[in-house]
Amino acid sequence: MIIMGIDYGDARTGIAVCDKFEMLASPVCSVSEWNKDALIKEICALALKYKVQQFVVGLPKNMDSSEGERAQKCKDFAAELSEISGIEYVMRDERLTTVTAHNALNITNTKGKKRKEVVDQVAAVVILQDYIDYRRINKLNG
């Protein structure tokens, strides 16, 4: 199944997709859009282009596992995206994904403007890869 990972943000949203065998998450783009309706329209177009069958949207939980205002905003966004696109979604805990993304960019020595452009994509990759790994492990363990 082709799954799209989404790191939803107010200013920029990172997008990643996996292959149909759910082995590898790859960055697609960062969408710079403040208007939620326009963002959803753009993501729907990308979903159509990549033949996406499911969305996984990052859920920003607090370190104590509680959910704040931002988590609710992400849930509302995911529900609206699913309703408009007709594609089901799951929420995935995204704690520390941005830290992981920055660490990965440190390793590759990505700095400045380029770093700002790709950090959301890398965060989307981390969210998606975590989810497809989870699915694979659960399939193996029955």
One digit per residue, pLDDT tens: the chain, 142 residues?
999 999 999 899 999 999 999 999 999 999 999 999 999 999 999 999 999 999 999 999 888 888 889 999 999 999 999 999 999 999 999 876 666 665 665 666 566 666 566 778 888 999 999 999 999 988 877 6
pLDDT of amino acid 108: 61
pLDDT of amino acid 116: 64
Are the CB atoms for 88 and 70 separated by under 8 Å?
A: no
Cα distances from 102 to residues 27, 96, 117, in angstroms, run: 15, 10, 12
pLDDT of amino acid 26: 96
Q: What is the pTM of this model?
A: 0.88
CA distance 5 to 17: 6
Who contacts 128 (Cβ-Cβ below 8 Å, separation ≥6)?
Answer: 3, 4, 5, 16, 17, 18, 25, 56
Amino acid at site 91: M
pLDDT of amino acid 113: 60
Assign domain 3-140 to its CATH superfamily.
YqgF/RNase H-like domain (3.30.420.140)
pLDDT of amino acid 115: 56
pLDDT of amino acid 118: 76
